[in-house]
Amino acid sequence: MTGPTANLLITGARLIDPATGTDAIGDLAISDGLVVADAPAGAERIDGRGLVVTPGFCDLHAHLRQPGRDGAETIESGCRAAARGGFTTICAMPNTDPAIDSAEAVSRAVAAGAGGACRVRIIGAASVRRAGREMADLAAMAAAGAVAVSDDGCAVSGAMARETFERVAAAGLLLIEHAEDPSLVAGGVMRAGPTAVRLGLPGWPPAAELTTVERDLALAGTTRARLHLTHLSCAASIEAVRGARARGVAVTCDVTPHHLSMADDWVAGSRRFAWDEERAPDPALAFDGRCRVNPPLASRADALALLAAVADGTIDSIATDHAPHPVERKLAPFASAAPGLIGLETALSLGLAAVEAGRLALPALVAAMSTRPAAIIGEARSLAVGATADIVAFDPAARWRVDATTLESASSNTPLLGMELPGVVRLTVGDGRITYRS
């Protein structure tokens, strides 16, 4: 990571540290990149009144598009977007072109990710070219530094699922699974339901996620492989996770900020959050390709159930699934728009909007964005004295307007453009270095 070494004294901030159970007003001193009890002479003083200071955020799911599609994002621009969003670690998915599916490709990606404004961890593909026909060399990718494997964009194919889980268990790896059965999606482009019927768009049924979740939980149970289910979008999937945990299956899971806050009515032109009162959708905003994403935006009931599962801790992490795409791939008719939306710079704000609405406690949001995802990939985070400074300071009450011209990401594919959101990051310190400040 690059940036000046932090020597700071932040005074009078709300310090929230899930690692130590802290939630109190206090000062945080950093000397030579380490959290210390007393600020060094000459340290820069930052008036922290009104700010919240927490461990740096860790994103288990981001697409950086390099190699192959660096018009949409580069590692460098993705890292700048991450630092602006308060992230100090992002895990890069292997669905690049070519895919990151070998030890050599992992080594190259690790080296390419080393010099940016955010720590980049690499996820290797589970199958060669992510094609689901031939196993990638998982143990060699782990030795080269992969923190997990995933065929994200697709689930591990049925034909390879048993062997993949066995090898993941043998290598002591983590499988991050995009749960989607393509035979049940069968051309669906938005969540199946009344809105899809009304808009005349082919529906993507919740069963396409749930059947893969159930398959994977069964395989994790018998093989003891570590399974992490990413971007869960249905209440039924959360129930399946609860049931598996009760049987002793080791499984973790995440949800995206957009699945927590937006529902399928956004495809019809609504721009209300899932917890807001019903408002008539704006027909001029209907069929906006920027609302197309995999898995699709779900029902309002699903979104609220996912939010409740973050609040009660069932969902371990909020992960962005930051999926940059060039404008022309999103301005296409809805059914041919590329799925995916950017999230690194808006994740905190969507979480804070849920906090403002009384749906989530701020410490639970912080844990789901920092210490809990970090622990899943073996990273420690703490504000305790002696820890490496890896923190974010944000103003939860400040407002900003999402504007394509000021985003750090090289892409601007989000339906939040033009909307005003709460939460502005003032300072990000990763690995003892100042990686962002505003």
Residue count at the site for ligand NCD (CB under 6 A)? 11
Residue 63 interacts with ligand NCD (CB under 6 A): yes or no: yes
The span from the CA of 227 to the CA of 232, in Å, is: 13
Residue 289 interacts with ligand NCD (CB under 6 A): yes or no: no
Residue 345 interacts with ligand NCD (CB under 6 A): yes or no: no
Instruction: Between 296 and 422, name the residue whose CB sits nearer to ligand NCD.
Output: 296
Residues in region 172-191 near ligand NCD by CB under 6 A = 178
Which amino acid makes up residue 402?
V
Compute the least distance from the CB of residue 280 to ligand NCD, in Å. Answer: 27
Residue 412 interacts with ligand NCD (CB under 6 A): yes or no: no
Give the contact letters, 128-167, x = binds to ligand NCD (CB under 6 A), - = no.
Answer: ------------------------xx--------------
Instruction: Between 99 and 160, name the residue whose CB sits nearer to ligand NCD.
Output: 99
Q: Is 321 a catalytic residue?
A: yes
Compute the least distance from the CB of residue 136 to ligand NCD, in Å. Answer: 18
Compute the least distance from the CB of residue 182 to ligand NCD, in Å. Answer: 11
Residue 62 interacts with ligand NCD (CB under 6 A): yes or no: no
Residue 294 interacts with ligand NCD (CB under 6 A): yes or no: yes
Residue 338 DSSP label? P
Residue 410 interacts with ligand NCD (CB under 6 A): yes or no: no
Q: Is 280 exposed, middle or buried (0-12, 13-18, 19+ CB in 10 A)?
A: exposed
Catalytic residue, from 321, 390, 395, 431: name it.
321
Nearest Cα residue to 422 out of 366, 354, 352, 343? 352
Instruction: Between 48 and 415, name the residue whose CB sits nearer to ligand NCD.
Output: 415
Structure tokens at 97: 């072109």
Please answer whether residues 294 and 339 qualify as being in contact, where contact means their C-beta atoms are separated by less than 8 angstroms: yes
End-to-end alpha-carbon separation of the chain, Å? 18
Compute the least distance from the CB of residue 60 to ligand NCD, in Å. Answer: 13
DSSP secondary structure of 153-191: TSPPPHHHHHHHHHHHHHTT-EEEEE---HHHHTT--EE
Please answer whether residues 342 and 412 qualify as being in contact, where contact means their C-beta atoms are separated by less than 8 angstroms: yes
Nearest Cα residue to 18 out of 54, 57, 48? 54
Residue 44 DSSP label? E
Site residues for ligand NCD per CB under 6 A: 63, 95, 152-153, 178, 293-294, 321, 323, 339-340
> Known catalytic residues?
321
